[in-house]
Amino acid sequence: MPRSSRRHLLVFLILLLFTLVFAGFLAVAAYYYFTGAENVTIKSFAPGLPAVYLGFMARKEWRGMQAMRKMEARKRRLESAQ
């Protein structure tokens, strides 16, 4: 059974939260990397890399939510027309 638009929205918000947390790791690593801090290399960006994957997952859930909203609206219109 397909998930409802609310379920898609909830999953989107959870993924967005984790994306922002990991993006914070990327931002802090970039700050220290570009300011020339000691012992900071390109490997310091590794903890933030899941932000990219989670961002794409959140985008997929957002699109799924929009599609479900349209489908639910279409279903309501058909039911009210009968």
Kindly list the domain boundaries of the chain, sorted by start residue. Answer: 5-77
What's the mean per-residue pLDDT of the chain?
92
> What does the pLDDT average to over 42-57?
92
Distance from C-alpha of 23 to C-alpha of 56, rounded to nearest angstrom: 13
Q: What is the reported pTM?
A: 0.79
Per-residue pLDDT band for 3 (boundaries 50, 70, 90) equals confident
> DSSP letters along 12-49, please?
HHHHHHHHHHHHHHHHHHHHHHHTT-TT--GGGGGGGT
